Amino acid sequence: MNVLDSLQLATRALRVNKLRSALTMLGIVVGVAAVVCMVSVGAGAQAEVSERIRTLGANLLLVMPGALNSGGARLESGTQPTLTEEDAAAIRRALADVQVAAPLLSHAMPLVAGNRSWTTLVAGINPDYLVAREWQLAAGRSFTGSELETAAKVAIVGSIIVDELFEGRAGFGETFRIGNVPFTVIGVLDKKGLGPAGRSQDDVVFIPLSTAKSRVLGAVHGTTRDALDFISIKVADASAIPDAQADIEALLRQRHRIRGDAASDFRIENPADVLNARGASVRILGYLLIAIASVSLVVGGISIMNIMLVSVTERTREIGLRIAVGARRRDIRRQFLIEALTLALAGGLFGAFLGAAAAVAIALKAGWPILISPWAIVLACGFAGVVGISFGLYPAHRAARLDPIVALRFE
Amino acid sequence: MVISGSAWGSEMSLVHVTGISKQYACGAGFVRAVSDVSLSIEPGEFVAIRGRSGSGKSTLMHLLGLLERPDCGKYVLKAREVANLSEDARSSIRSDEIGFIFQFPALLPRVSALENVELPLAYAGIRRQERRARAKDALDRVGLADRVHHLPNQLSGGEQQRVVIARAVVNNPSLILADEPTGALDSRTGDEIMSLFAGLHRDGRTIVVVTHAAEVAARARRQITLHDGRIVEDIPSQPRVPGKGGGGSLPQ
């Protein structure tokens, strides 16, 4: 009797009691499904985080106006411009580790081209911003120095703008209006996908910062024409980030004349940290669920043992008969072991399928990449198999030890 | 002890048993199911072991079939001492040399007649195709060629017992052991089954039938009677079989 025969026997025995077999597998199904699902979700979330960090640009720090812990009363905001172009320039000048300090001023504005309109984020930048974000152009060129100086009415647009406003035409060279101001498209941005906040980064129009201030967005920050939304800083090296963060803090506090322990009127954010923290919380939740799933696998193993013991008793006569016609103890033992293993593996495969399906559903819902880890499936099914064998050993041993005479008389 | 059969037969016999006993724990004491039995069976014999229930005839059959180990005594099967072999060695002898037929048609439920007959071949390690062919052939010989794919519960009692017989002979065993093969059947079906045994005997097979029914025992050529675990009578095979004479009955 070879393994194939034993396998055939096992599947047949399990098919006889379909409902019972299915219920016995349930613990394993739930356990494996949870493991596969959580590992896949965790991997998807992690990939999402990495992707967002990548599209953000490496080693990026953001300096934003407004103190983080000011108790909700930002007294300074009306009294002085919190962040200015001069701040950005000073950071760039003073700190060796800072490669780029790019100011940005933005606001949502209505766009019109021909008979089509679209409302989107219009951001005033200088070319440093594209460097900080490691953002390439798909077509055209960046702003020139003279365009920045003369506040030229030129724009670089994201791919969504091309689709929405120019109906998929190249976009390059087209003209459109922001509010009432006519602009010419000189460049089209590469696609970036979703940003940290979950909004598409391709739905954007960049214009020179000077143009934004003087012609389009000047009135946005009512109190001062110099105020910025934030400064994007590219640090030379990841290891230099903590130092750079402290240096920027000190420099800006000095420039803003903040003394002693007074709260800063700006804050420095490391977007990668925020994203990583979010990824870590998903991972920790995943580990917790995997721990629970392991308990389920063990419980599933116990229910396999339970049913196998019942099965050995029920089939006492069959065992006696098999021994009478020449089965050796190890044939009997193998038969029941393979049956337990088949139960566990079938449960494992079904669970892996369910878990993968759940992971796909969650990934689609959350907008994460779908990453079904084959290792998770192999490991979870392997663990299920180990559970099946370890909990099948004792019942199989009991079956193999039956006295054929007693077994044959058993009714 | 007064023993029959020791006068003839030798270690060259198919079965050569000397002084085997088997006792069971029963309550505080022991019950001697088989007590100091010696006998020899030659190839081709058709032997009936008779006795009332409790006479030890089933235990003797289990001992002969290596399902049980004797407490003492010698058992030589095909010139090989088998009484004290390991569990696995006895299994492989059962699979190669012995075919069992039980009172209640002992078939695996939910498995077709064909696969039931294949069972001993499977444990003997014979390949699937050959297994199938031989099982079909065996079923054909017991007249069930058209029933190979039926499940046991789709067969009558007599047909089930035929499947069991086919299974017992499929691996060409040296010894066929039948325990009350007609016990669960009506007399007409029982007759048919006994005719099958007669046919197997004509084919030269060695058969031992354990029964309490005189009419079943009457079909055999040699009749051994057991009482309280001892052989009390051994009516030998037909005198016309040369070289098998002698050793008449020796009542206590």
Given CB atoms, is B134 within the 8 Å cutoff of chain A?
A: no
Q: Which residues of A touch B125 (CB under 8 A)?
A: 1-2
ipTM, two decimals: 0.83
**Mean pLDDT value across residues B104-130:** 88
- Helix then strand count (H, E) for chain A reads 13, 10
Asked whether residue A269 is assigned to any structural domain, the reply reads no
Q: What is the DSSP letter of A225?
A: S
Asked whether residue A60 is assigned to any structural domain, the reply reads no
Count up the domains in chain A and report the number.
2
Nearest chain A alpha carbon to B63 = A405
CB contact under 8 A, A325 and B95: yes
| Final residue before a domain boundary, out of A236, A264, A292 | A264
Check residue A261 and give its pLDDT. Answer: 81
| List of residues 6+ apart from B188 with CB closer than 8 A | none
Are residues A292 and A362 located together in one domain of the fold? yes
Asked whether residue A119 is assigned to any structural domain, the reply reads yes
Distance from CA of A337 to the nearest CA of B (A): 17
Given CB atoms, is B183 within the 8 Å cutoff of chain A?
A: no
Check residue A70 and give its pLDDT. Answer: 47
Question: pLDDT band at B55, cuts 50/70/90?
Answer: confident
Are residues A260 and A280 located together in one domain of the fold? no
Are residues A258 and A349 located together in one domain of the fold? no
Q: Which residue in A325, A330, A334 has the most chain B C-beta atoms within 10 A of its own C-beta, making it the best mutation to test that interface?
A: A325
Are residues A29 and A90 located together in one domain of the fold? no
Are residues A16 and A100 located together in one domain of the fold? no
Size of interface A-B (CB pairs under 8 A): 62
Query: Would you say B8 and B183 are in contact if contact means Cβ atoms under 8 Å apart?
Result: no
Asked whether residue A61 is assigned to any structural domain, the reply reads no
Distance from C-alpha of B168 to C-alpha of B206, rounded to nearest angstrom? 12
Distance from C-alpha of A143 to C-alpha of B57, rounded to nearest angstrom? 108
Q: Examine the pLDDT at B186 and tell me if it is beyond 70.
A: yes
CB contact under 8 A, A408 and B167: no
Q: Which residues of A touch B167 (CB under 8 A)?
A: 325
Q: A163: domain range?
A: 67-264
Q: Which residues of A touch B90 (CB under 8 A)?
A: none
Are residues A247 and A285 located together in one domain of the fold? no
Q: Which stretches of chain A drop beneath a pLDDT of 70?
A: 1, 67-81, 196-197, 218-226, 411
Question: pLDDT band at B92, cuts 50/70/90?
Answer: confident
Q: Examine the pLDDT at B252 and tell me if it is beyond 60.
A: no
Nearest chain A alpha carbon to B122 = A1
In the CATH scheme, what architecture does the domain B43-69+84-235 have?
3-Layer(aba) Sandwich (3.40)
Distance from C-alpha of A250 to C-alpha of A256, rounded to nearest angstrom? 10
Are residues A224 and A292 located together in one domain of the fold? no
**Mean pLDDT value across residues B216-245:** 76
Query: Would you say A343 and A381 are in contact if contact means Cβ atoms under 8 Å apart?
Result: no
| List of residues 6+ apart from B3 with CB closer than 8 A | B19, B36, B37, B38, B231, B250
Are residues A144 and A243 located together in one domain of the fold? yes
CB contact under 8 A, B91 and A323: yes
Q: Where are the beta strands (DSSP E) in B27-157?
A: 29-41, 46-50, 72-77, 80-81, 98-101
Given CB atoms, is B96 within the 8 Å cutoff of chain A?
A: yes
**Mean pLDDT value across residues B172-183:** 89
Distance from C-alpha of A404 to C-alpha of A88, rounded to nearest angstrom? 90
Asked whether residue A182 is assigned to any structural domain, the reply reads yes
Q: Which residues of B touch A328 (CB under 8 A)?
A: 87-88, 91-92, 123
Asked whether residue A270 is assigned to any structural domain, the reply reads no
CB contact under 8 A, B123 and A322: yes
Query: Would you say B65 and B95 are in contact if contact means Cβ atoms under 8 Å apart?
Result: no
Are residues A237 and A307 located together in one domain of the fold? no
Distance from C-alpha of B19 to C-alpha of B32, rounded to nearest angstrom? 13
B62 → closest Cβ in A5, A317, A405: A405
Are residues A29 and A101 located together in one domain of the fold? no
Distance from CA of B57 to the nearest CA of A (A): 14
Are residues A313 and A247 located together in one domain of the fold? no
Nearest chain B alpha carbon to A2 = B125
Are residues A101 and A208 located together in one domain of the fold? yes
Percentage of chain B lying above the pLDDT 70 cut: 89
Q: Examine the pLDDT at B104 and tell me if it is beyond 80.
A: no
CB contact under 8 A, A329 and B124: no
| Dihedral angle sign, alpha carbons of residues A250, A251, A252, A253 | positive
